[in-house]
Structure formats: C-alpha cells, structure tokens
C-alpha cells in the first residue's frame, strides 16, 4: 500500500478520512477520529445509578463516538437508525467490553 493522504476532515464529528492507493488502481479510505474527548467525558460521569444525570424526563446513559457507530455498521451490520439496530446497540452497551461508553453503572434497556 502507498502513503495515506488526507481526503476529508469533518470538524463537527472530529473524523478525518485518508485516501490510500494500492498502486494497481484500487484504493482504501481510512476514517479515524479522536475519541478521547467523548471517552473522557463518559469517564467523568461514571459511577452511581445515573440519577444525577437526569435532564427532565431523560437520562444520559451513554455517549458513543460517531466513528464507533460507523465501525459497528461496517463490521457488524448494525443499522443504528433502525429499531433492531438500537436493540443491538443496547446489548453492546450492556456488555462489559463496552462499559467505557456508558455514563452510569446501570443496565440499559
């Protein structure tokens, strides 16, 4: 593979897309993002039962960086905009491997 060249940067999501040619007319687009600000915010809110995060009738239970949603779409086929996709995301969030995305020590769903 060749060197990566910045193709696009989306300031709203914090994602950058890089173009990488394969030398044979094909290419790969790589999307990367700095998830640290979202994950740091999640970490600062963890602990407790989530009651402290209520805003009216709603509670913030998790925050998922956009690049992770895109990864789940590409690798697992999770269409996060559908009811089935939302159920699959809830299952992922309740998996200990994804606890870093949650903002409270509660089971979601």
Calculate mean pLDDT across residues 37-57.
74
20 and 48, same domain (yes or no) = no
User: 3-state SS of the chain: helix, strand, coil percent to 5?
Assistant: 40, 25, 40
Q: State the residue range of the domain holding 27.
A: 1-33
Tokens representing 80? 């996060």
CA-CA distance, 85 to 55, in Å (whole number)? 25
* The total number of structural domains that make up the chain: 2
Which residue, 29, 22, 35, is CA-closest to 6? 29
Residues 107, 62 share a domain: yes
Residue 41 predicted with pLDDT over 70: yes
13: how many CB neighbours lie within 10 A of its CB? 13
Question: Residue for token digits 């300031």?
Answer: 11
Judgement on whether residues 76 and 49 belong to the same structural domain of the protein: yes
Q: Would the pLDDT of 55 be above 80? A: no
Please indicate, yes or no, whether the overall pTM of this predicted structure exceeds 0.85. no
């Amino acid at each position: 593979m060749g060197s990566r060249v910045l193709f696009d940067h989306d300031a709203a999501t914090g994602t950058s897309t890089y173009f990488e040619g394969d030398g044979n007319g094909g290419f790969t687009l790589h999307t990367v993002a700095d998830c640290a600000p979202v994950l740091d915010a999640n970490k600062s809110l963890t602990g407790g039962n989530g009651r402290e995060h209520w805003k009216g009738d709603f509670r913030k239970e998790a925050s998922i960086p956009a690049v992770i949603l895109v990864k789940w779409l590409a690798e697992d086929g999770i269409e996060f905009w559908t009811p089935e996709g939302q159920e699959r995301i809830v299952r992922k969030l309740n998996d200990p491997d994804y606890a870093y995305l949650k903002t409270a020590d509660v089971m979601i769903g």
